[in-house]
A and B are shown apart, each in its own frame.
Chain A
Amino acid sequence: MNATLVAVLVLAAGTYVFRLAGPLLHGRVELPARVQELLTVGATVLLVGLLATGALTEGHGFAGWARPAGVLAGGVLAWRKAPFAVVVVGAAATTGLLRLAGVP
């Protein structure tokens, strides 16, 4: 079977198991606050790691300046509470324009 399909199916099955926690354990188990916090912080750290490597690297090397500049522009827009679509378009437009200007 196709490796990508396997990844999608495993992710779907695992996610559904997480989602069954409520119906299955309701009233019997409550996650300790510490565990919840750890899961939340872990998810945040993972997302930040993902966005940083995605912004800075391509394959095993540096991605060039245009992409991180676009991500930074998107980040500034998000920081200023711009709507989601503006963040996406702002990031892409910044990178696209920089490439048009010859920045790799």
Chain B
Amino acid sequence: MASVTPSDPAAVPARADRRLLRDIALVCLADAVVGVSFGAIAVTGGLPVWVPVLMSLIVFAGSAQFSTVAVLAAGGGPVAAAATGLLLNTRTAAFSLAVADALGRSWPVRLVGAHLVTDETAAFVLAQRDPRRRRAAFWISGLGLFAAWNLSVLAGALAGSALGDTARFGLDAAFPAVLLALVLPALRGSAGVRRAAAAGVVIAVAATPVLPAGVPVLLALTGLLVARTPWRGTPSRTPRSGSPSRKTSPGAPS
């Protein structure tokens, strides 16, 4: 009698809400681990503590932050660093379009909400159908991730500056490994993407000895031209209605 059956109309949304909150909490936790790594890697790479901390507050996009810091730490110029990060973040425009309805109605709310658009918030919103739940998913995951990300980056940056020589701990291998974990799902999914990426790698690595830091990575994009095979070779050739959900998975840092 006390047990709630799945057919209880009130219990289903409540259970779905609990599951959503639990999922959001798990992703916040996963991102916090990434945030600590980001803060520590940035500082041990030779950047002052304020760089990762400020960047996390006003950029708030994990993979772009990692990339920009990597270029800066490798001695690349600010133009190459910002360009790398910006290119990675172009996808937030697509995500922003996909979740625009979930932000809210008034302009101040939308302007604040826009800053919280990430891969993860988009994934959470796209998993919901009901407009009210979409909005709740957006704001809870957005604010939760913003808090988790910034606190963990601060903690990582402070810990990193106490850590000293990172080569001894092999932390220089952590950052490329993080990126590898991030791109694996996309690489698994499509042979065309693998070809374009492989061509890009050859070009970037070959160019590294002769070009200034940061430029070889941008040159990797020419891999898109070399591997001309359509990367849409995957079965989903039907025109999709602007939903980027296929490439998104909660748990992958933005």
Contact = CB atoms under 8 A, between A and B. Distances in A.
A95 B173 contact: yes
B89 interface: yes
B179 A18 contact: no
A14 B89 contact: yes
A88 B174 contact: yes
Contacts of A18: 89-90, 92-93, 96
Contacts of B58: 8-9, 12
Chain B, interface SS category: helix
Nearest to A26: B100
Contact of B196 (A45, A59, A63, A90): A45
The contact size tier of chain B is: 35 or more
B173 A92 contact: yes
A91 B174 CA distance: 6
A92 B169 contact: yes
B68 A11 contact: yes
A39 B90 contact: yes
A59 B75 contact: yes
Contacts of A52: 176, 201, 204-205, 220
Please provide the 7 A-B residue pairs with the shortest distance between their CB atoms, ordered closest to farther: A49-B220, A74-B177, A95-B170, A70-B173, A22-B96, A96-B170, A22-B100
Interface of A: 3-4, 6-12, 14-16, 18-23, 25-27, 29-31, 33-34, 36-57, 59-61, 63, 66-71, 73-75, 78-79, 83-85, 87-88, 90-99
